[in-house]
Structure 1
Amino acid sequence: MAGNLMNRLFKGAIAGAAGVALLLGGAGTFALWNDDTDAGTDAQIEAGHLMFGTVPAGQWYLNGSTSALTDEQVEALALVPGDILLYKVNGVQIIAHGTDLKAQLGFDWDNVTDAGTDGSDVTDATAGSEFLDTLDVAYAVTDAQGDPVALTDGDTMTITGGDTIDAQTVNIAVTITFDPNTDAHVAMGGKVDLSGFDLTLKQVQMPGQAPASPEPAAT
């Protein structure tokens, strides 16, 4: 009698252990009742684009001439106070794909650098930085039809996004004037590297959009 009782208890213990294993689901936690259902929409969402498309090579002009300079001629220039260099690039493509997108097309002159001097004995060591300081820069933008576009807030153009990825086309002119009031030996023999001059596109926060986190302070 005692043996049969022990046998039944042993079998029950085995069955109970199996039941616990099923409830645990092999993951170490109880598989409590749960359910899910479709939230009621089969829509898809997508991210837009803000970027430059094709940016053709530009051309340089000196003092109102209609004859474009070659790259070699630009490199060989020795500018004097009063000279005006014009850089034109036509057909710049801007892709602003976003239903509620605003952006600014701008011009970053800050990375243009002093490139030293021509090394002549009569040239001051600071001529490169002096030359950079004498350059006055102005910008103009026209649309694909050649009509002027108003610039605002530090020479920027407002770009409005759309629902398609079609590019907007603009023409850009950058005028660099060597200050005609430069006197004495200021800037003589100085050199400036223009390779850091950039076009920029920056999104503008619209009402209702979450603000971006501020950039960490420089250390």
Structure 2
Amino acid sequence: MNKTTKAAIAAGSAALLLAGGAGTMAAWTASTTASAPQTITAGSMAVSQTGTGAWTWGGGNGATAGTAFNPAVDKLVPGDVVNYTATYNINLVGKNLKATLTPALGGVSGDLLPQLSVADADSTPATYTEGTHTATYTTKITFNPATTDQVGATKTASLAGGAVTLQQTITP
């Protein structure tokens, strides 16, 4: 083959390779902006405790559920359950906003903390929707009943950092 033929074949092959990608070549497009400028605003949510809460025995080890528990005087042992009941103001702003209150020991400190667990005293926590709500909520604190060998004996925990968190419930 002569040089001219080889060059023609190479040029033809290159043209076929380029044409193979023809589906990715740009097509016509057009666009415009919205007819009027719009601003969107995100919703919000807030929770705050009103008044002073109340401590009660939640049962366990023969304690009478519902009777007063005095954190300054009464001592916990493995298996004890105490409840903290308080009233909270809840404010949800947003058409599709739903939330539940969730207890947490995240701010609790002290050597007794590893033996404690926290839960919602109601097995099915309430879900709140847009608007202003007043809710009475009980946090259940349990001294782990499986604690052995006097682990935690004479230890303390400051429950001042205990909290309830208003947590958004996202539904697909």
Structure-1-length-normalised TM-score? 0.50
Whether the aligned pair in 1 keeps the contact of 2:118 and 2:142 (CA below 8 Å) is yes
Identity, in percent, stands at 29
1:106-185 equivalences under 5 Å are 106-114=102-110, 128=111, 131-141=112-122, 150-151=124-125, 158-161=127-130, 165=131, 167-185=132-150
Partner of 2:54: 59
Letter in 2 for 1:139: D
1:51 maps to a residue whose letter is: A
The answer for unaligned runs of 5 or more in structure 1 is 1-38, 115-127, 142-148, 152-156, 208-219
Whether the 8 Å CA contact 2:102–2:120 is kept in 1: the answer is: no
2:77 alignment partner, one of 61, 76, 80: 80
SS at match of 1:180: coil
RMSD: 3.0
Structure 1 residue identity aligned to 2:124: A
Which structure would you say has the larger Rg? 1
Instruction: State TM-score, norm by structure 2.
Output: 0.61
How many residue pairs align between the two structures? 133
Q: 1:81 to 1:140 in 2, by over 3 A?
A: closer
Structure 1 residue 55: deviation in Å? Answer: 2.8
The gaps in structure 2 that reach 5 residues or longer are: 1-34, 58-62
The alignment status of 1:50 with 2:15, answered yes or no, reads no
In structure 1, what is the Cα distance between the partners aligned to 2:49 and 2:158? 24
